[in-house]
Amino acid sequence: MNISNEVRKKLLAYQRSEITEHHVYLKLARAVKSPENMLVLEKIVHEELAHYHTWRKYTQRDVKPDRLNIWKYYLVGRIAAALSMGASEYLSTRSEETDRNPARASIYTGGAYVITVFILMLPYLILENYFICLGCTLAAAVLIIAFFNYYISVAKDLPFKRRFLEMAVLSLGVAALSFFIVLVLRSFLGVDV
C-alpha cells in the first residue's frame, strides 16, 4: 500500500499505542482477582491486539510497545499497593500495645516499599536486554536485603549473617520459582510479553 511518510508516521504512532495498551491491559488482567473483571480486561487485550494488526496492514511494519508507558502504569499500581501497605501498617501498629507511632510506621513502610519497587524496576526502564535487567534486579534485591538486615542487626543487636542468608535464600527462591512458573505458563498459553 502506498502512503505518504507523514501518514505512515501517524499510523506507526497509533500502532505503537495499540500494542502498548495491549500489554498494559494484559498486565491488568493478570493482576485482578475478580473473574468477571478479568474477562472484560481479556476482551480489551484482544481488541487492542486486533487494532494493532489493523494498523500493521497499512504500515507493513512491526513496532514494539512503549516500555516506559507500560512501566508507568505498573508504577502507579505499585504506589497504590504501597499506600495499602502503609495503611495496613498503621492499623496493625495502632492495634498493638506499643509505644510506636502508627503514622510514622505507615510512612516508613509505604516509603520503603515505593523506593524498593523503583530500585527493582529501574533496570527495565534503562536497559533493553531482559536477562541483564533480571541480573541487575536480583543483585539490587540482594543489596536491599543486606542493607535491611544490617540495619536490623545494628538496631536490635542481632546476628547479621544468618538472618541475611535466610532472607536472601527465601527471596531469591521465591523469585526463581515465580520465574519458572511464568516460563511454564508462557509455553502452555503461547504468550510472550
pTM over 0.85: no
Q: Assess contact for 31 and 77: CB atoms under 8 A.
A: yes
The verdict on 11 and 22 lying in the same domain is: yes
Same domain for 86 and 35?
no
Predicted pLDDT of residue 58:
92
Residues 134, 121 share a domain: no
Q: Are residues 46 and 89 in the same domain?
A: no
Average pLDDT taken over every residue of the chain:
86
How many domains are there within the chain?
3
pLDDT score for 186:
67
Tell me, yes or no, whether 144 and 191 share the same domain.
yes
23 plus 76 within the same structural domain: no
Looking at the fold, whether 122 and 133 belong to one and the same domain comes out as: no
Question: Does residue 138 share a domain with residue 191?
Answer: yes
Domain that holds residue 189: 129-193
Q: Which residues of 79-114 are buried (b: 16+ CB within 10 A; e: fewer)?
A: eeebeebbeebbeebeeeeeeeebeebbeebbeebb
DSSP E strands in the chain: the ranges are none
- Domain co-membership, 37 together with 12: yes
Q: What are 62-103's pLDDT values in tens digits?
A: 999 988 888 777 777 777 778 888 888 888 888 888 888 889
